[in-house]
């Protein structure tokens, strides 16, 4: 092949390249992320928009009657006609105000104890973290067995002369028993606090020792400022989770009760475990009041959003950056 023919072929190739339209990379990108976009549209955006619309209607799942626009009637019923709404609100607020602080304090204490151990810190972190990866349903069923009136916990209490309560069968002890489950399964928060404590500069503790500071003073003036962002994270995420508290209460109500009538299972015993989301499930999937349940869901979203924003704003003067105000 001569040099002239090679030059001709190169010229033809350049002309073809200049004549062909340039391909945009966005087409390939859209094709590759299309499964995510379809899933986002079908399983997230569509349900959100649909429930917002249903919250202003009298729609009932499975009903043949036409759906009518009722305005704010569903929201008005939440505060007036519902017999279970305020019960669910009180029980949910109880869990938020009691369980979230106890869970945070217990995680901080456990992380501090692990950090104080000279040997085997990794093994202790693993032991504390294992309950966090156990399925929630399995954990709830295990505690139902352990906290049974004739179960192993009451048996051990009887050995030391203490008569154990009925736990999940007693309205006064049902919610504290759920708090025990939360404390047992907060290993993920313990690991986060433990990692945050390792990030505290050692020289600060050494300087405090030279100044004669005690253990409590070191913890208050050095450790807590460095832990304040993690404390905020634990409280906010715990609050969001507890406002939506459902699975443990649902499993316990259905498994600890000897009543077989499904209409009396939710909230057993005596509606002490009837939380806001439990009532939402009952209204939407037991009574099929879909429009009313949609209004409950959107009210819950507004409460969680407002509480989160309020907490973040109030924490600006309390959360320290790298231990400094």
Q: For 58-81, write each residue's pLDDT tens digit.
A: 999 887 788 899 999 999 998 887
Tell me the Ramachandran region of residue 288: left when phi exceeds 0, alpha when psi lies from -120 to 50, beta otherwise.
left
What residues form DSSP beta bridges with 69? 57
**Quick one: pLDDT band at residue 324, thresholds 50, 70, 90?**
very low
pLDDT of residue 18: 54
Helix/strand/coil (H, E, C) string of 54-114? HCCECCCCCCCCCCCECCCHHHHHHHHCCCCHHHHHHHHHHHHHHHHHHHHHHHHHHHHHH
Tell me the whole-structure pTM to 2 decimals: 0.85
CB proximity list for 248: less than 8 A, separation 6 or greater? 136, 139, 140, 178, 181, 182
The whole-chain average pLDDT of the chain stands at 87
Give percent above pLDDT 70 in the chain.
87
**Quick one: pLDDT band at residue 120, thresholds 50, 70, 90?**
confident
**What's the mean pLDDT in 154-166?**
93
Sign of CA dihedral 214, 219, 225, 226: positive
Tell me the Ramachandran region of residue 182: left when phi exceeds 0, alpha when psi lies from -120 to 50, beta otherwise.
alpha
User: For residue 262, what are its two tokens?
Assistant: 């499904």
pLDDT of residue 323: 44
Domains along the chain with CATH numbers: 1-45 (no CATH), 83-317 (1.10.3720.10)
269 preceded by cis ω (within 30°)? Answer: yes
pLDDT of residue 17: 54
**Quick one: pLDDT band at residue 322, thresholds 50, 70, 90?**
low
Q: To 10 degrees, what angle do helices 85-116 and 276-285 make?
A: 130
Q: For 30-66, write each residue's pLDDT tens digit.
A: 889 999 999 999 999 999 999 999 999 999 988 778 8
Q: Which helix (H) or strand (E) holds 158?
A: helix 152-159
Q: For 223-243, write each residue's pLDDT tens digit.
A: 888 899 999 999 999 999 999
pLDDT of residue 79: 87
**Quick one: pLDDT band at residue 21, thresholds 50, 70, 90?**
low
Tell me the Ramachandran region of residue 186: left when phi exceeds 0, alpha when psi lies from -120 to 50, beta otherwise.
alpha
């Amino acid at each position: 092949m001569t040099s002239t023919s090679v030059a001709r072929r190169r010229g033809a190739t350049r002309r073809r390249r200049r004549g062909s339209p340039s391909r945009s990379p966005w087409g390939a990108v859209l094709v590759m992320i299309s499964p995510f976009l379809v899933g986002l549209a079908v399983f997230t955006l569509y349900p959100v928009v649909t429930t917002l619309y249903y919250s202003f209607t009298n729609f009932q799942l499975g009903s043949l009657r036409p759906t009518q626009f009722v305005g704010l009637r569903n929201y008005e019923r939440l505060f007036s006609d519902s017999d279970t709404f305020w019960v669910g609100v009180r029980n949910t607020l109880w869990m938020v105000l009691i369980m979230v602080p106890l869970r945070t304090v217990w995680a901080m204490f456990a992380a501090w104890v692990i950090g104080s151990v000279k040997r085997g810190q990794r093994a202790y972190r693993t032991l504390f973290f294992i309950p966090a990866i156990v399925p929630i349903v399995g954990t709830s069923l295990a505690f139902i067995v352990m906290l049974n009136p004739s179960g192993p916990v009451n048996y051990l209490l009887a050995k030391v002369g203490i008569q154990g309560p009925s736990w999940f069968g007693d309205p006064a002890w049902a919610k504290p028993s759920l708090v025990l489950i939360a404390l047992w399964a907060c290993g993920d928060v313990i690991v986060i606090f433990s990692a945050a404590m390792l990030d505290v500069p050692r020289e600060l503790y050494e300087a405090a020792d030279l100044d004669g500071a005690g253990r409590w003073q070191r913890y208050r003036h050095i450790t807590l400022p460095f832990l304040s962002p993690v404390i905020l994270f634990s409280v906010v995420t715990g609050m969001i989770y507890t406002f939506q508290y459902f699975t443990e209460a649902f499993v316990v109500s259905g498994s600890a009760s000897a009543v077989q009538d499904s209409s009396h299972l939710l909230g057993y015993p005596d509606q002490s475990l009837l939380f806001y989301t439990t009532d939402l499930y009952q209204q939407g999937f037991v009574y099929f009041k879909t429009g009313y349940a949609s209004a409950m869901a959107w009210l819950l979203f507004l409460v969680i959003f407002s509480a989160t924003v309020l907490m973040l704003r109030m924490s600006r003067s309390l959360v320290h950056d790298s231990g400094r105000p």
